[in-house]
Chains A and B, each alone.
Chain A
């Protein structure tokens, strides 16, 4: 296994954009070539070497390549952009657009991740041990193409619009999230283990949003269907019970919203409408 470790050399005052920090763009390149990869620091073009100490560890002939990032990287954007293989391990925080358009491989972040985590991803897996910003697994602004496949797991909290325009795949937030999870989504699963600030599933046409904690309200464009004892996410059975809503009826949608019954006593009035 080949492991390339990038250590941030100095404090970064402006965003750094790297379109070529991923196992697939490093593979087949010598250490010097990697050091020479072009990146942008603010509006200045520079080399990977100017910002990172680039070193290689455990060199062996295996194809599998791992990229490690050490140091304060919260201003470094687009790590793992269009990644197709291998893995990336980030010691601390990561900046915006982590794993954007990635199609395979895995990314692990020990700290927090910025906004647009796994935006437009087509496959692979991302795991964030800390919190994530807004627009986890969402589409680009204005576009209708969100996350297509793959898995995103966030152990902390996430911001607003988780899985906006999501087309498939799984997002699991172990903490809470902001407003509008699953906005415009048409397939896939979003599982929020704790609370949500509201407006879950706005304009969704398909897919599932599961909320294990408190929600202030359900949008009026959703219909109560049933109460279900448990719901399956992947292989795991999540114990409920859950209120199941369908919507968004404004969009003729057939999305499913699962809301934990025990944590939301204020939604008890819905039960009147159950047959």
Chain B
């Protein structure tokens, strides 16, 4: 069938320990192959960098809250309109692009796989409908479990196995990929007008603490043999002094780790890495958090790097969004989803001149630079919370070039500049490290065996950037590097050229990955029997109508997990 030969590229493939070697890559039938026939189409990649396609671990691209954000912000779309071409459809941006535009823009940057990190289980049908409309890229979504009534009830009663079976049923029903926990117990408590600020405070009416929820779900994650660790948005997010909560959250599952495999991924740490005790003396907790991450192997993180400018914040953390709405005076919407979870959306502008925003910008970068092992940290902007995903190339240049950082640092709020350690950090990422934090590391963390590397048999998702390593020094020529990263010379998805010279040339349909943990039949039968009674009691939908059928998805890709129960 289709064959490609990518010739003479400078290949960065960290998982296979290829560090910028000049070599040819053969592609056959959507996979990387040993060799191809002489009929293969040849791509001349001499003077270009070749990497696996980008894998984004955390980016809010689809689902009910993303769509509420679109409805809330007509002014966001008005300023960024993309005309249709003979291949692509028309669409709008900027911080919450329409579905088609999301796919095109990711592909243009050489990204081929994106994970939507928060979907309310009940509304996941909508999430899948939107994911199906996002062309080119592969995707998956993480259902929310941190404030789920049934989960809290099971855990309180110590029914770990039943809870595991329930989650297995839910992942199957929602076609989800991993266990997402947002502000464990906190969203529920806020429904009763309270804030949970510590891991050991009780959730009203459930007599369970965030610590117990985290530990319970972490154990279940292991019982179910999930490919990814629990994906955690911490309690107390967005409050000064919360870096302690973050470290405590990481530490509370430290003893559950075995064989050095990470058991917890703490996401957008920038939002939960504040020191100080008020907005006036907020500082960066990045050094302390980085020190913890450097010393422990059970945790991985991503920064949620702030990019100055206008964006839309959206999270399942309703309490935090309410706080932000009060602080900024901007409009907001709030959604509550039938005892499963909630969400809030607030438009926000990060300003260089604002002390807190400037510190936030610094925290993300400090964290990226102070965590020594790039396999433990992944690049995100928590799109669109801290900035749209289209600013990834800019963030990458900040990592690769001290000059690029210094240029921004010189223009931020001067008190923030004085407060941050960022100016004194010399480290500059190499292209290999960039490849780790944007593709190899994320694929490894997500347990995607065929992504994030270019070994024989891997999916032929490849990004080719016109960066000539012989003449371009990313540390000095960061502007050229940024442009090259923003517009891939070629993006290849499943062996098909989808982007050429930064323009979309084909729009195939990407797969939707989902995890199907297999628990014992007896346990599953027992659990679903008791579940249906709960459904009758709590839900507006019957249990039988709740699951999203596999054939409802345009291109499902099931990953079976072998559970221990």
Q: Point out residues on A near B: beta carbons under 8 Å.
A: 139-144
Residues of A within 8 A of B78 (CB): 140-141, 143
Chain B, 317-333, CB within 8 A of any chain A CB: 330
Smallest beta-carbon distance A142→chain B, Å: 4
Smallest beta-carbon distance B506→chain A, Å: 25
Most chain-B Cβ atoms within 10 A of its Cβ — which of A139, A140, A142, A144? A142
Residues of A within 8 A of B72 (CB): 142
Residues of A within 8 A of B330 (CB): 144
1/0 per residue B72-92: CB within 8 Å of A? Answer: 111110100000000000000
Residues of B within 8 A of A141 (CB): 74-75, 78
- When C-beta atoms are compared, the residue in chain B nearest to A141 turns out to be B74
- How far is B73's CA from A143's CA once the two chains are assembled, in angstroms? 8
- When C-beta atoms are compared, the residue in chain B nearest to A145 turns out to be B75
Secondary structure call for the B interface: helix
Smallest beta-carbon distance A101→chain B, Å: 11
- When C-beta atoms are compared, the residue in chain A nearest to B330 turns out to be A144
Residues of A within 8 A of B75 (CB): 139-143
- How far is B72's CA from A139's CA once the two chains are assembled, in angstroms? 15
Smallest beta-carbon distance A76→chain B, Å: 20
1/0 per residue B328-340: CB within 8 Å of A? Answer: 0010000000000
- How far is B72's CA from A143's CA once the two chains are assembled, in angstroms? 10
Smallest beta-carbon distance B79→chain A, Å: 9
- How far is B80's CA from A140's CA once the two chains are assembled, in angstroms? 14
Smallest beta-carbon distance A252→chain B, Å: 10
Q: A-B pairs with the 5 shortest C-beta distances? A: A143-B75, A142-B74, A142-B75, A141-B74, A140-B75
- How far is B76's CA from A140's CA once the two chains are assembled, in angstroms? 10
Residues of A within 8 A of B76 (CB): 142
Residues of B within 8 A of A144 (CB): 330
9 CB-based A-B contacts, threshold 8 Å: A140-B74, A140-B75, A141-B74, A141-B75, A141-B78, A142-B74, A143-B74, A143-B75, A144-B330
- When C-beta atoms are compared, the residue in chain A nearest to B72 turns out to be A142
Residues of B within 8 A of A142 (CB): 72-76
- When C-beta atoms are compared, the residue in chain B nearest to A205 turns out to be B329
Smallest beta-carbon distance B331→chain A, Å: 8
- How far is B76's CA from A160's CA once the two chains are assembled, in angstroms? 24
Most chain-A Cβ atoms within 10 A of its Cβ — which of B74, B75, B76, B78? B75
- How far is B72's CA from A141's CA once the two chains are assembled, in angstroms? 10
Residues of A within 8 A of B73 (CB): 142
Smallest beta-carbon distance B95→chain A, Å: 13
- How far is B300's CA from A202's CA once the two chains are assembled, in angstroms? 49
- How far is B75's CA from A139's CA once the two chains are assembled, in angstroms? 9
- How far is B75's CA from A144's CA once the two chains are assembled, in angstroms? 9
Smallest beta-carbon distance B72→chain A, Å: 7
Residues of B within 8 A of A143 (CB): 74-75, 78
- When C-beta atoms are compared, the residue in chain B nearest to A252 turns out to be B329
Residues of B within 8 A of A139 (CB): 75
Chain B, 50-84, CB within 8 A of any chain A CB: 72-76, 78
Given contacts A139-B75, A142-B75, 5 further A-B contacts (CB under 8 A): A140-B74, A141-B75, A142-B72, A142-B74, A143-B74
Residues of B within 8 A of A140 (CB): 74-75, 78
- How far is B71's CA from A141's CA once the two chains are assembled, in angstroms? 11
Smallest beta-carbon distance B345→chain A, Å: 12
- How far is B163's CA from A83's CA once the two chains are assembled, in angstroms? 64
- How far is B76's CA from A144's CA once the two chains are assembled, in angstroms? 11
- How far is B310's CA from A142's CA once the two chains are assembled, in angstroms? 14
- How far is B75's CA from A140's CA once the two chains are assembled, in angstroms? 6
Smallest beta-carbon distance B90→chain A, Å: 10
- How far is B310's CA from A143's CA once the two chains are assembled, in angstroms? 12
- How far is B330's CA from A144's CA once the two chains are assembled, in angstroms? 9
- How far is B473's CA from A76's CA once the two chains are assembled, in angstroms? 52
Smallest beta-carbon distance B89→chain A, Å: 14
Smallest beta-carbon distance A271→chain B, Å: 34
- When C-beta atoms are compared, the residue in chain B nearest to A139 turns out to be B75
Smallest beta-carbon distance A33→chain B, Å: 23
- How far is B562's CA from A44's CA once the two chains are assembled, in angstroms? 57
- How far is B72's CA from A140's CA once the two chains are assembled, in angstroms? 13
- How far is B72's CA from A41's CA once the two chains are assembled, in angstroms? 29
Smallest beta-carbon distance B81→chain A, Å: 12
Smallest beta-carbon distance A36→chain B, Å: 19
Smallest beta-carbon distance B88→chain A, Å: 17
Smallest beta-carbon distance A44→chain B, Å: 14
- How far is B330's CA from A143's CA once the two chains are assembled, in angstroms? 10
Smallest beta-carbon distance A131→chain B, Å: 26
- How far is B332's CA from A142's CA once the two chains are assembled, in angstroms? 11
Smallest beta-carbon distance A150→chain B, Å: 20
Smallest beta-carbon distance A259→chain B, Å: 28
Smallest beta-carbon distance B134→chain A, Å: 24
- When C-beta atoms are compared, the residue in chain A nearest to B329 turns out to be A251
- How far is B75's CA from A267's CA once the two chains are assembled, in angstroms? 39
1/0 per residue B264-283: CB within 8 Å of A? Answer: 00000000000000000000
- How far is B74's CA from A139's CA once the two chains are assembled, in angstroms? 12
- When C-beta atoms are compared, the residue in chain A nearest to B71 turns out to be A142
Smallest beta-carbon distance B260→chain A, Å: 49
- How far is B77's CA from A140's CA once the two chains are assembled, in angstroms? 11
- How far is B79's CA from A139's CA once the two chains are assembled, in angstroms? 13
Smallest beta-carbon distance B204→chain A, Å: 30
- When C-beta atoms are compared, the residue in chain A nearest to B73 turns out to be A142
- How far is B78's CA from A143's CA once the two chains are assembled, in angstroms? 10
- How far is B79's CA from A140's CA once the two chains are assembled, in angstroms? 10
Smallest beta-carbon distance B416→chain A, Å: 25
Smallest beta-carbon distance A88→chain B, Å: 23
Chain B, 145-180, CB within 8 A of any chain A CB: none
- How far is B78's CA from A139's CA once the two chains are assembled, in angstroms? 12
1/0 per residue B98-142: CB within 8 Å of A? Answer: 000000000000000000000000000000000000000000000
Smallest beta-carbon distance B325→chain A, Å: 14
Smallest beta-carbon distance B199→chain A, Å: 36
Smallest beta-carbon distance A147→chain B, Å: 15
- When C-beta atoms are compared, the residue in chain B nearest to A251 turns out to be B329
- How far is B346's CA from A142's CA once the two chains are assembled, in angstroms? 12
Smallest beta-carbon distance A85→chain B, Å: 24
- How far is B76's CA from A139's CA once the two chains are assembled, in angstroms? 13
- How far is B138's CA from A264's CA once the two chains are assembled, in angstroms? 65
Smallest beta-carbon distance A203→chain B, Å: 11
Smallest beta-carbon distance B73→chain A, Å: 6
- How far is B330's CA from A82's CA once the two chains are assembled, in angstroms? 27
- How far is B234's CA from A106's CA once the two chains are assembled, in angstroms? 55
Smallest beta-carbon distance A89→chain B, Å: 29
- How far is B72's CA from A77's CA once the two chains are assembled, in angstroms? 25
- How far is B72's CA from A261's CA once the two chains are assembled, in angstroms? 40
Residues of A within 8 A of B74 (CB): 140-143
- How far is B76's CA from A142's CA once the two chains are assembled, in angstroms? 8
- How far is B76's CA from A141's CA once the two chains are assembled, in angstroms? 10
- How far is B74's CA from A128's CA once the two chains are assembled, in angstroms? 28
- How far is B81's CA from A140's CA once the two chains are assembled, in angstroms? 15
Smallest beta-carbon distance A253→chain B, Å: 12
- How far is B73's CA from A141's CA once the two chains are assembled, in angstroms? 8
